[in-house]
Amino acid sequence: MTEVPAGEYAGMGGRALTSSLVAKEVPPLCHPLGAENKLVIAPGLLSGTIAAMSGRLSIGAKSPLTGGIKEANSGGQPAQVLARLGYSAIVLEGKPENDDLYRIYINKDGVKITRDNSLRMLPNYDLAEKMKADYGDKVAMISIGPAGEMKMAAASIACTDMEFRPTRHAGRGGLGAVMGSKGIKVIILDDTGMKMREPKDPEKFKDANKKFVDGLRKHPVTGQGLPAYGTNILTNILNEAGGYPTYNFKQGRYDQAHKISGETQAETETARGGLATHGCHRGCVIRCSGIYHDKDGHFLSKQPEYETVWAHGGNCGICDLDAIAKLDFLDDNYGLDTIEMGVALGIAMDAGILRCGDAEGAIKLIHEVGQGTPLGRIIGSGAAVTGRVFGVERVPVVKNQALPAYDPRTVKGIGVTYATSTMGADHTAGYAVATNILKVGGNVDPLKPEGQIELSRNLQIATAAVDSTGMCLFIAFALLDQPDTFQALIDLINAFHGLNMTGDDVAALGKSVLKTERDFNARAGFSKADDRLPRFFTTDPVPPHNITFGITDEELDKVFDW
């Protein structure tokens, strides 16, 4: 661990801090698992305060999956606790000379690093039980599972939720492998004796937070849809729109989607004594998380999110919610990105490694990943490697990262984001689905190329800024439709830090973050040829609309011309 000089990164938080530090201090051509890479863990500008929705954690490094810069984002308790402890970031650097494992404990008295090889290959849930016995359940935990220890390119970093379960993950880009390469198994954060961070202007801050919460509760997405059905409310919506990728992106509609929809999932959870509405961290007012119980009423997993249900469900032809929840639990336990795993499974099905729709076969395969068998290591290396090993032509990745749950031929704005994001294919980098499908922030026809470049550009800029505040990205629904709620967010930042930011300053922050990330990627060897979707999206029409992507390379090259 290292101490960051305050002046150099003063005023930064979240993604702005992780990307700036990685871009400045990590050699772009270094090996992602080598000593020169750094893993940066940063809460946002508003984390650790009473501001609603401010508990997101940014984790950054050079990605073992994409080979470029990476920021992966997680909910859970760690961001709030780390910020209250007074840290702007934790930076893991260097590499141990042997293969020993370490635990890190941070409290108000400082940092303690202890060698602990008894933790070797412990899955995340078992690790949480062990840490609970040692430290109680009022602490927060950041950890890796066996996949991270084995340095798999699909390895995630787990964060504990309010129940001290390792259910929230910085999933994308293989950053769990970077933590594993540093020999760090677990970081325990204990804010006992620490208070909430105090704003420079408490009254203005309190007033802005009230207006902010009121805006979120009034919006139909953040106030009604997400709390009632979680993110999986999108299954029926995307399926109806013909943008739900099915059978490894062969069609845009799944005839069994109703069996795994958010409505069915919420009904199942409630009937079994689980929770259809739940916050992943204290201070969450959207509450789109949940708790999924098995048929006997015992905890099986957190509520699987839309991306997870799609990846293991419709993408693989699996229409069994219990099997999907089991796969979600295994991914969390072994420390794996659910999107990367689901897409890799779909490719394995295309290759004939297992039958399409074979839920038991999929569960067995994820166990193999967690055990590190030769086949498991292939799948655990992600979708691109799985496709290459098994000679599959249809491999839906950008910059080696698997595409999430929206077909870019039918939802063209998200296709632009997938192609051009600094992060590889990533729906959260510029969520054009909001405007293409949900008609939030305007209405840009998802089936036509017109307006998609501008839409993705503006959302990528806005997202980079939101990711720097520590705010949950879902606040964007209200921000896009409600100018007063956007102003309330700016007022929160200004009141807390004693600033005078405007909406233009927020946009400038987003542009600055993207410029920093693109510069790193260029120095790492990326060019505009990497800002492309796989060829089959431009040549193979997808039913039911039977259209291709239809946005030219020349247009894609204009996304960052602001």
Whether the per-residue pLDDT at 314 is higher than 80: the answer is yes
Q: Classify strands 110-115 and 69-74 as parallel, antiparallel or unpaired.
A: unpaired
Dihedral angle computed from the Cα positions of residues 527, 528, 534 and 537, in that order, rounded to the nearest 10 degrees? 180
Residue 383 near residue 340 (C-beta atoms within 8 A): yes
Count Cβ atoms below 10 Å from residue 110 Cβ, excluding itself. 8
- Residue ranges and CATH numbers for the domains of the chain are 7-189 (3.60.9.10), 235-406 (1.10.569.10)
Question: What is the Cβ-side half-sphere exposure of residue 412, based on CA atoms within 13 angstroms?
Answer: 23
For residue 241, name the pLDDT band (cuts at 50, 70, 90).
very high
- In degrees and rounded to multiples of 5, residue 443 shows phi and psi of -145, 105
| Per-residue pLDDT tens digits for 207-236 | 999 999 999 999 999 999 999 999 999 999
Report the pLDDT averaged over residues 52-73. 97
> For residues 216 and 225, is the Cβ–Cβ distance under 8 A?
no
Average pLDDT in the chain: 96
2, pLDDT greater than 70? no
- By C-alpha distance, which of 198, 169, 277 is closest to 230? 277
- Whether 88 and 172 have beta carbons less than 8 Å apart is answered as no
For 548, counting Cβ atoms within 10 Å of its Cβ (0-12 exposed, 13-18 middle, 19+ buried), the class is middle
Interval 340-347 mean pLDDT: 98
Average pLDDT on 184-194 reads 98
pTM beyond 0.95: yes
Give yes or no for residue 4 having a pLDDT over 70: no
Scanning the structure block, which residue is given the tokens 């000089």? 5
Q: Are 244 and 405 in contact (CB under 8 A)?
A: yes
- Cβ atoms of 399 and 530 closer than 8 Å: yes
DSSP output for 140-176: EEEE--HHHHTT-TTB-EEE--TTS---EEE-TTSHH
Amino acid (1-letter code) at residue 480: L
Dihedral of CA 25/471/324/254: which sign?
negative
Name the band, by pLDDT with cuts 50, 70 and 90, for residue 1. Answer: low
| Res 11: pLDDT | 85
> What percent of the chain has pLDDT above 70?
99
Residue 8 clears pLDDT 90, i.e. is over it: no
Q: What percent of the chain has pLDDT over 90?
A: 96
Dihedral sign (CA 192, 207, 493, 431)? positive
Q: Is the peptide bond before 544 cis (omega within 30 degrees of 0)?
A: yes
Contacts of 260 (CB under 8 A, 6+ apart): 232, 235, 309, 313, 314, 319, 320, 321, 324
Residue 207, φ and ψ in degrees, nearest 5: -65, -45
Q: How confident is the model at residue 6 (pLDDT cuts 50, 70, 90)?
A: low
Categorize the per-residue pLDDT at 25 as very low, low, confident or very high, splitting at 50, 70 and 90: very high
Q: Beta strands 102-107 and 184-189: pairing type? A: parallel
Radius of gyration of the chain (CA): 21
pLDDT at 486: 96
pLDDT at 259 over 90: yes
CB 381 within 8 A of CB 151: no
The residue assigned the tokens 């325990």 is: 188
**pLDDT recorded at residue 278:** 87
Phi, psi of 410 (to 5 degrees): -100, -25
Residue type, 210: K
CA distance 291 to 273: 9
Residue 276: phi and psi, rounded to 5, are -90, -15
User: Residue 514: is its pLDDT beyond 60?
Assistant: yes
CA-based nearest residue to 42, from 69, 29, 24, 61: 61
Q: How many CA atoms lie within 13 A of 557 on its CB side?
A: 6
Residue 504 has pLDDT above 90, yes or no: yes
Residue range 26-48, pLDDT digits in tens: 999 999 999 999 999 999 999 99
Token pair listed for 5: 């000089």
Per-residue pLDDT tens digits for 139-166: 999 999 999 999 999 999 999 999 999 9
- Give the Cα-Cα-Cα angle 178, 181, 187 (nearest 5 degrees): 75
* pLDDT tens, position by position, 466-493: 999 999 989 999 999 999 999 999 999 9
Tokens of 45: 């500008």
Q: What is the DSSP string of 71-116?
A: EEEE-SSHHHHHHHTT-S-EEE-S--SS---EEEEEETTEEEEEE-
**How does pLDDT run across 355-403, given as a tens digit for each residue?**
999 999 999 999 999 999 999 999 999 999 999 999 999 999 999 999 9
The pLDDT, as a whole number, for residue 223 is 94
